[in-house]
Amino acid sequence: MTVNIRPGWVSWIEVSPVARVLDGDFVYLRAASGTRKIGKFSGVIEAPGIEGNLKDLYTLRSTPMTDALASEVRALAGQAESAAQAVDGGGLRFPAELLSDDLRAQAERYDLDH
């Protein structure tokens, strides 16, 4: 997938997986209050995603690169534990969840066909 980013803007791609309905026997591990518990159950569960869509949904989000955003990204780049990785060409790759909720909410949205 090739994405053109406008000069002075920042863009990212979000993926929403297809909803998966599972019916069967399940074993789970739950950690609470410092103890681990293993349980079993049978039934139907729905995994995260978008119901009724036959393929994952890719969404391009874009917003202007403001001074505040540049500061936020520079701070992420300086934190070893932030999961930010340098990429060729001077870019930075990191999970969009690391950006502020306000920034992500104001970003333009385009659904992409892949």
Which residue is it, tokens 């406008």? 6
pLDDT at 29: 82
Confidence at residue 91, expressed as pLDDT on a 0 to 100 scale: 73
DSSP for 18-39 reads: BPEEEEEEEEEEEEETTEEEEE
Mean pLDDT per 10-residue interval, the chain, length 114 residues: 81 76 83 82 76 70 85 75 71 76 78 61
